[in-house]
Amino acid sequence: ALKKEPLQINGDGNQIRTFCYIDDFIQALFLMLKSESPAEVINIGSRQQIRILDLAELINKMLDNQSKGYNFVERYQFEPMIRTPDLSKIIKLSGWKPATGLKKGLKSTANWLKTQLKTL
């Protein structure tokens, strides 16, 4: 999208995913490192679901990518159609919940990327 080219999408784009902003992820890691809970597997992420095609459209709008269409490639064989983390354990152990919504996180990331490209 930064290069104003069509985005590549694996499968038909109807897969549902969630995305966690890096600052929220780091905060969750620090909370768990400070926790006195026994070591166990936890999920860190977001509950805000989005269809991949909708995400691609949002990214294109934010980066003013006027390219037409998408480059669809074959979906990975065992890729689930819906992938959403269960946050109940981390909420119970630490009270953590993601603070940054998808649009805000994408906007911050897009601005950071634009700044980085200017310095190259």
pLDDT digits (tens, 9 = 90+) for 30-70: 999 998 877 889 999 999 999 999 999 999 998 888 887 89
Q: Which two tokens stand for residue 64?
A: 């003013």
Task: Sketch the domain layout of the chain as residue ranges.
Answer: 8-119
Quote the pLDDT of residue 1. Answer: 83
- CATH number assigned to the domain covering 8-119: 3.40.50.720
Quote the pLDDT of residue 20. Answer: 98
What is the H or E stretch that residue 51 is in?
A: strand 49-51
List phi, psi (to 5°) of 34.
Answer: -80, -15
pTM for the predicted model, two decimal places:
0.87
pLDDT digits (tens, 9 = 90+) for 86-97: 999 999 999 999
